[in-house]
Structure 1
Amino acid sequence: MAEKSSHFVCRKTLFFLFAMATLFFFLSWFFLLGSTTTSTTTTDASSFIEDQDPNPSLQLHTTLQPDLDPEPGAKGCDWESAVLKVFMYDLPLDFHFGLLDWRPEGDSVWPDLAREVPHYPGGLNLQHSVEYWLTLDLLSSALGNRTGPCAAVRVLDSRLADVVFVPFFSSLSYNRYSKPKPPERLARNKALQERLVKFLAEQEEWKRSGGRDHVILAHHPNSMLESRMRLWPCMFVLSDFGRYPPNVANVEKDVVAPYRHMVRSYANDSSDFDSRTTLMYFQGAIHRKDGGHIREELYRLLRNEKDVHFSSGSLQQNGISQATRGMRSSKFCLNIAGDTPSSNRLFDAIASHCVPVIISDGIELPYEDVLEYSEFCVFVRSSDATKKGYLVNLVRGIGREQWTRMWERLKEVEGMFEYRYPSRKDDAVQMIWQAVARKVPFVRLKLHRLKRFAQAEDGPKRRRRFSRLRTRH
């Protein structure tokens, strides 16, 4: 009887151990699968965000901040190794982030980027948002956990700076506040420009250089209309020179920055010469002012070509989706002069890996001093493009091998036209800072020449010479 009882207890113990082992086995698998699922979901979400249409808003890019985690050993920007040292005015809030309806918690006029990044409005505002990206990049250069490149760093002593940065969001000011709102008599945009000119004239940095080392952002062609003639000595960051007299803005002293493209970037592009069945693509406003009359002429020449898409359209409603599909299925995309020599369409084409055909005789292109556009673009003179049969025959004569070389080069350079925060190596933000840095020797030359006879002039005369905001070159 004792033997039976002992045998029964032994079996019971073994059963208990087996049950516990089985339970632990299933629990281990449960946690393992849960961990794997979470990891996969996170990866898929990141991929989804990267491939979405960025136009409705920047919320995905500015609130998730996927790149803000510091890399091992990251110590922020090294200002000694930066190509550009920048002093930034602490302009009042209503010149920059206040235009985004952002308000600080404390006394600072700048957001704490380690905690939040102010949201930028979507839609067509994004085309001229360069002021937002450059200001964010400059502010983040002081973060201790900054990762990625630092072409420009902010310095707090203007005497150590190469240039003086004026953080006025002029394009956004024009887009939102160019018309008076009752009971206003003066539009907010115009009032801000008047305040800015007055502010600059009072600054010691302006008096030292006459504004020649100041960087002014005026990317929208209609921004800074009331003040640009008085700020002519400054270095402007523009989309083109179409609405500026050459003594106010020119390629010698100013910087051309890309538009922010409106269509989605073409990730994982597996297309080729044969799969892009449309020869040439254009969709946009056909009736334009100034040099834009060429669009009407080309429309008459190309509208009946069977493998050419040339139609009127806009980026409103479903226009962005249509343009995305159209450009991705086309070999060549037309970039034709409109109201101004440049347009966002060129950068949409680059993002779509659709070889741009540029028909704009007066166009100036971003960083053309270091980037050879003929490697991935086709340039056609307006006088040639309007000859019957010329454009179609020229483009049809570009065969598979030549087109593929240009298409491959497009994919290599597309990152240079991408605005991001945080910025990445050789993206649009870094390329613009580098372009500004290449202007610094010219700025110094001008300042040194102006000081040749400074010792022979009395103090008041010398100060007037540098500080006056003149209206003529």
Structure 2
Amino acid sequence: MPPPLPTTAILLLAAVLLHFPPPSTATNQYSNADKNCTNKWIFIRQLPPRFNTDLLSNCSVYPLFDDFCPYVPNHGLGYKTHNKSQSWFRTDPFMLELIFHRRMLEYSCLTTTPNQANAFYVPYYGGMDSIKYLYGPEVNNSFQHGKDLYNYLSQKNSPAIWNKNLGHDHFMVLSRSAWDLNQPLGNDPLLFGTSFLELPEFYNVTALTLEARAYPWQERALPYPTSFHPPSLSFLKSWINRVKKSKRSTLMLFAGGGRISANPNIRKSIRLECENATQMSADGTGYSNLCEFVDCSNGVCEHDPLKFTKPMLQATFCLQPPGDTPTRRSTFDSIIAGCIPVFFDELTAKKQYGWHFPVDQYHKFTVFIQKEEVVFKGIKILDVLKSIPGNEIRRMRERVIQMMPRVIYRRHGSSLGLKELKDAFDIAVEGTLKRIKSRLKEVAAQ
């Protein structure tokens, strides 16, 4: 169990603020003439605390949502899984805004000169702010979500910065699925969701979300934070060695909720096939177990990585079916464990994480089985996976391990050696800068 929280949320907030270095400490690490920062300069928009850190003080006031106070410490990484842990934390994906903000303060090409900036980061905790509209007192005013922020950026705080490109050069992180933030402005306000991403005022802003929709140009999905945040290259290498040496005694694994719908769907098919597989002999396959199901019902796995990481270390393939929405944190948990992801819908990863999963490399570390083939045509997942040659499996696992640094969020303040490897944050910033540069060219040509 995590240690008890401070007696008041204000104390918790104060502890967080004390550990946030002022932006000036991360600025001027490079001179203006340094070629390393050409086209990479970022200016952090200064927001009143009500748009970010003040929201942390409400971490326990939404009983219909959850008490997220235990996941705020360590700048959003949460408490350590045990006292001596250096790399493993009880991380909640909804803390990505806080994690990203903390890492931005370490970004080496920050500038305090707006005219020098190639992009502007808005440290707005929009996912946290949405909770009051989704579960709290503002549930009937979800169409208002974001309007106060827009008024501040465009009218109250250096409006010339916003008006120069009308937001095309701005970006922000929203640690929710885009589907939670796309309620049409004219809808009944009692419907679930806010209208943040439907506000015309923010159409030009690049929104980095946990899950993006396929059509709006401004959205881009970022990897879900896992519980693994190494502080140095040695800790990362140590974990990779463990992953490489792990004995894979299970052919395939599914970690997810235990409920089975009455209607045909891919999760139901997986559960039924896995139950049948436990009664089959694994002789001749090289495995002692054909399928393992890790029951993560009621969120029991969400903040306890031991429950699923150890089984994933022992599995060759990890099944990643879509659920309420296409994407899953489990995709990234499986990569951390060296377990080859098996997808059943292209929206689960291929059409989401193009920056982090290069499309031309996608087939080299994943398996794809069309969900309709399984649900309606009787294709057996086990038959498909057993048909993959052993040498091909070894190549795929090697590629999965190579992908690992691209999907982790290394610990803030990490050592220089680890910083030389691009992690999920680095790739997200690089992709955002390229996207903004391209967009500004398009706008200028119009």
Same fold (TM over 0.5): yes
Deviation of 1:276 (Å): 1.1
When residues 352 and 78 of structure 1 are mapped into structure 2, their CA distance, relative to the original with a 3 A threshold, is farther
Please give the residue correspondences for 1:295-314 in structure 2 after superposition, counting only pairs within 5 Å. Answer: 295-306=267-278, 307-310=290-293, 312-314=295-297
Picking from 209, 226, 248, the partner of 1:261 is: 226
Counterpart in the other structure of 2:196: 227
Deviation of 1:271 (Å): 5.9
Counterpart in the other structure of 1:280: 252
Aligned counterparts of 1:411 and 1:127: Cα–Cα separation in 2: 22
When residues 227 and 201 of structure 1 are mapped into structure 2, their CA distance, relative to the original with a 3 A threshold, is farther
Residue 405 (str. 1) matches residue 389 (str. 2): no
Contact 2:142 2:195 in 1 (8 A): no
Aligned counterparts of 1:85 and 1:174: Cα–Cα separation in 2: 29
Contact 2:220 2:352 in 1 (8 A): no
* Unaligned residue ranges in structure 1 (runs of 5+): 1-52, 57-61, 66-74, 103-116, 142-149, 451-473
Aligned counterparts of 2:341 and 2:57: Cα–Cα separation in 1: 37
Partner deviation per Cα, 1:140-186 (whole Å, 9 max, x = no partner)? 34xxxxxxxx4xx2222322222221111122334577432xxx566
When residues 413 and 341 of structure 1 are mapped into structure 2, their CA distance, relative to the original with a 3 A threshold, is same
Aligned counterparts of 2:343 and 2:31: Cα–Cα separation in 1: 40
Please give the residue correspondences for 1:94-173 in structure 2 after superposition, counting only pairs within 5 Å. Answer: 94-101=50-57, 119-120=75-76, 122=78, 126-141=92-107, 150=108, 153-173=109-129
Aligned counterparts of 1:166 and 1:352: Cα–Cα separation in 2: 33
Contact 2:75 2:102 in 1 (8 A): no
Residue 382 (str. 1) matches residue 371 (str. 2): yes
When residues 227 and 298 of structure 1 are mapped into structure 2, their CA distance, relative to the original with a 3 A threshold, is same
Aligned counterparts of 2:413 and 2:228: Cα–Cα separation in 1: 20
- Aligned-residue RMSD, C-alpha: 3.8
Counterpart in the other structure of 1:197: 150
- TM-score, with length taken from structure 1: 0.64
Return 222-231 or 320-329, whichever deviates more.
222-231
Picking from 408, 413, 417, the partner of 1:422 is: 413
Aligned counterparts of 2:359 and 2:219: Cα–Cα separation in 1: 15
Contact 2:405 2:424 in 1 (8 A): yes
Return 195-204 or 75-84, whichever deviates more.
75-84
Please give the residue correspondences for 1:315-394 in structure 2 after superposition, counting only pairs within 5 Å. Answer: 315-316=299-300, 320-363=305-348, 364-366=351-353, 367=355, 368-369=357-358, 372-386=361-375, 387-394=377-384
Contact 1:89 1:165 in 2 (8 A): yes
Q: Which has the higher contact order (CA 8 A, sep 6+)?
A: 1
Contact 2:145 2:195 in 1 (8 A): no
Deviation of 1:136 (Å): 2.0
Aligned counterparts of 1:192 and 1:389: Cα–Cα separation in 2: 45
Give the letter aligned to residue 46 of structure 2.
D
Give the letter aligned to residue 196 of structure 2.
S
Aligned counterparts of 1:129 and 1:190: Cα–Cα separation in 2: 23
Aligned counterparts of 2:93 and 2:264: Cα–Cα separation in 1: 19
- TM-score, with length taken from structure 2: 0.68
When residues 167 and 380 of structure 1 are mapped into structure 2, their CA distance, relative to the original with a 3 A threshold, is same
Contact 1:417 1:428 in 2 (8 A): yes
Aligned residues: 351
Give the letter aligned to residue 434 of structure 1.
E
Aligned counterparts of 1:338 and 1:273: Cα–Cα separation in 2: 32
State the secondary structure of the residue aligned to 1:239: strand
Give the letter aligned to residue 428 of structure 2.
I
Structure whose CA Rg is larger: 1
Contact 1:131 1:217 in 2 (8 A): yes
Aligned counterparts of 2:269 and 2:130: Cα–Cα separation in 1: 32
When residues 263 and 385 of structure 1 are mapped into structure 2, their CA distance, relative to the original with a 3 A threshold, is farther
When residues 324 and 88 of structure 1 are mapped into structure 2, their CA distance, relative to the original with a 3 A threshold, is same
Aligned counterparts of 2:95 and 2:384: Cα–Cα separation in 1: 35
* Unaligned residue ranges in structure 2 (runs of 5+): 6-15, 20-27, 59-72, 80-89, 183-193, 230-235, 279-289
State the secondary structure of the residue aligned to 1:357: strand
